[in-house]
């Protein structure tokens, strides 16, 4: 990659192993200062650019392709952003089912990250398949298979779900059909407990650094997907989702294929750790008791434990949702059924829509607050923006890396390299997601 930076490289991770996408972390001395560069090496796919000029109904389908792990979050956020732009109201039932899909998606993503990507390196094995604790691998695999199956039943396919459309759902969703698949989750609660227990007992490096944390707040609930949520920071301040969106600036980095997203011109850490620190009183009972076993500090390694707590929480939420689902029946969005100011949706198609407006939506995707924003003009997408949690966290990753090298340089390059790699991985970065804020 061209445009190499100035200064002597102290630590270079080379291509990071066990992460989603391709990235590299370099820490160098520049002008007497230790600076880190979190380099996205993933090529852009120009997905948001593609959406410009396209009919609005295509947004959820194209946005889904941003990520192979949190596609459901992207397609739901896209549908919501478009609906908001056009003033399309969806029913309470649609929201309830979107929430369930969101939970299943976050559960799947967390289990995948913890089991396949995080544990091997921390336990010093080459693969999760070489883990000494066979039961753990089997428990994790069962959770992964089940959460994938839930997404398939509700979304119409296990990856890149076609059933999430503007206006609601493409096909009739009968709550009763879904109850049985949720009931089966109860049988996997022990697997979730085992999994969380294992992660919470892990011995992880201490790397505390004060920084602003951000998480959505959904009054009375632990935040995931909500109709209207505000952003809470660790200084106690509360921002509406508009204010949060307006606080973000895009910063181009000469060393990265994606822009970084700065919050108030600086860093913000979003994700599981921020959610747990800022909202843990709203965790479901078992998840809360797991959370009580950890001393929560601003140490990125604790994201691993926060994700483990959330695995239990998502299971409990899904099981609780299952008890409500029995009475739900969501018709496919019909013409007129989801009537808005300008347009009406019919199974995701919005015929002859001449609507104009701006819309955006924020929800807690697996890796943190995910924001989709769009402008619609005469029924066509005029602009589309995706602020992913990885783009927001990039600055924190860099500051953590620089701080770590400053403090622990005597450890030597080899040791620092491994710890830096584990630290970056703990953030659960997704470079395929981040590159949707591309630099063309």
Provide the token pair at 9: 């490289």
Compute the least distance from the CB of residue 118 to other proteins, in Å.
12
Residue among 20 and 80 whose Cβ is closer to other proteins: 20
Q: Cα–Cα distances in Å, from 42 out to 101, 199, 230, 253? A: 28, 29, 32, 14
Footprint of other proteins (CB under 8 A):
1-3, 14-15, 17-18, 20-22, 41-47, 49-50, 54-55, 58, 61-62, 65-69, 71, 108, 112, 116-117, 120-121, 126-129, 137-138, 141, 144-145, 148, 156-160, 162-163, 165, 169-171, 252, 254, 256-257, 332, 347-349, 432, 439-440
Residue among 123 and 221 whose Cβ is closer to other proteins: 123
Compute the least distance from the CB of residue 45 to other proteins, in Å.
4
Closest to 34 in 3D by CA, of 391, 390, 420: 420
Compute the least distance from the CB of residue 141 to other proteins, in Å.
5
The number of beta carbons lying within 10 Å of the beta carbon of residue 120 is 18
Residue among 345 and 423 whose Cβ is closer to other proteins: 345
Residue among 196 and 435 whose Cβ is closer to other proteins: 435
Instruction: Count how many residues are written for the chain.
Output: 440
Compute the least distance from the CB of residue 425 to other proteins, in Å.
12
Cα distance between residue 19 and residue 424, in whole Å: 9
Q: Is the dihedral of CA 47, 49, 54, 55 positive or negative?
A: positive
Angle, to 10 degrees, between the axis of helix 189-200 and the axis of helix 302-325?
Answer: 160
Q: Cα–Cα distances in Å, from 383 out to 50, 261, 263, 352, 356? A: 10, 18, 21, 19, 12
| Ramachandran angles phi, psi of 275, nearest 5° | -65, -45
The number of beta carbons lying within 10 Å of the beta carbon of residue 196 is 25
Residue among 71 and 222 whose Cβ is closer to other proteins: 71
Compute the least distance from the CB of residue 21 to other proteins, in Å.
7
Residue among 286 and 377 whose Cβ is closer to other proteins: 377
Compute the least distance from the CB of residue 405 to other proteins, in Å.
22
Residue among 61 and 291 whose Cβ is closer to other proteins: 61
Do the beta carbons of residue 249 and residue 262 sit within 8 Å?
yes
Do the beta carbons of residue 272 and residue 427 sit within 8 Å?
no
Q: Which residues of 200-211 are buried (b: 16+ CB within 10 A; e: fewer)?
A: beeebeebebeb
Compute the least distance from the CB of residue 112 to other proteins, in Å.
7
Compute the least distance from the CB of residue 231 to other proteins, in Å.
26
Residue among 168 and 214 whose Cβ is closer to other proteins: 168
Q: β-strand 248-251 against 260-263: which pairing, if any?
A: antiparallel
């Amino acid at each position: 990659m061209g445009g190499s930076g100035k200064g002597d490289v102290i630590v270079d991770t080379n291509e990071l192993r066990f992460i989603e996408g391709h990235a590299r972390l370099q820490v160098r001395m520049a002008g007497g200062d230790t600076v880190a560069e979190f380099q996205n090496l993933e090529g852009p796919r120009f997905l948001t650019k593609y959406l410009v000029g396209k009919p609005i109904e295509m947004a959820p389908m194209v946005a889904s392709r941003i990520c192979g792990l949190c596609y459901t979050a992207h397609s739901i956020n896209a549908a919501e952003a478009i609906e908001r732009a056009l003033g399309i109201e969806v029913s309470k039932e649609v929201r309830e089912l979107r929430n369930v899909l969101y939970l299943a998606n976050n559960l799947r993503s967390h289990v995948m990250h913890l089991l396949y990507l995080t544990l091997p390196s921390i336990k010093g094995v080459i693969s999760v398949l070489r883990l000494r604790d066979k039961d753990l691998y089997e428990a994790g695999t069962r959770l992964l298979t089940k959460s994938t199956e839930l997404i398939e039943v509700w979304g119409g396919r296990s990856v890149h779900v076609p059933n999430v459309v503007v206006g609601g759902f493409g096909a009739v969703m009968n709550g009763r059909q879904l109850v049985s698949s949720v009931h089966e989750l109860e049988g996997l609660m022990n697997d979730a407990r085992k999994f969380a227990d294992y992660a919470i007992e892990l011995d992880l490096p201490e790397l505390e650094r004060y920084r602003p944390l951000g998480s959505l707040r959904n009054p009375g609930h632990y935040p995931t997907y909500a109709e209207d949520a505000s952003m809470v920071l660790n200084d106690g301040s509360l921002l509406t989702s508009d204010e949060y969106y307006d606080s973000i600036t895009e910063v181009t980095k000469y060393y990265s294929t994606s822009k970084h997203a700065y919050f108030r011109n600086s860093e913000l850490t979003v994700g599981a750790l921020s959610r747990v620190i800022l909202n843990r009183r709203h965790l479901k009972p078992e998840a809360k008791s797991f959370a009580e076993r950890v001393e929560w500090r601003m140490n990125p390694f604790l994201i691993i434990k926060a994700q483990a707590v959330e695995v239990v929480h998502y299971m409990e939420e899904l099981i609780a949702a299952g008890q409500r689902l029995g009475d739900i029946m969501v018709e496919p969005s019909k013409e007129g059924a989801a009537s808005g100011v300008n347009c009406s949706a019919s199974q995701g198609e919005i015929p002859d829509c001449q609507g104009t407006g701006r819309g955006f939506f924020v929800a807690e995707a697996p890796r943190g607050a995910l924001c989709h924003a769009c402008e619609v003009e005469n029924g066509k997408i005029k602009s589309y923006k995706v602020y992913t949690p990885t783009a927001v966290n990039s600055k924190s990753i860099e500051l953590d890396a620089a701080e770590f090298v400053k403090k622990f340089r005597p450890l030597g390059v080899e040791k620092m390299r491994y710890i830096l790699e584990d630290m970056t991985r703990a953030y659960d970065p997704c470079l395929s997601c981040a590159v949707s804020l591309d630099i063309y």
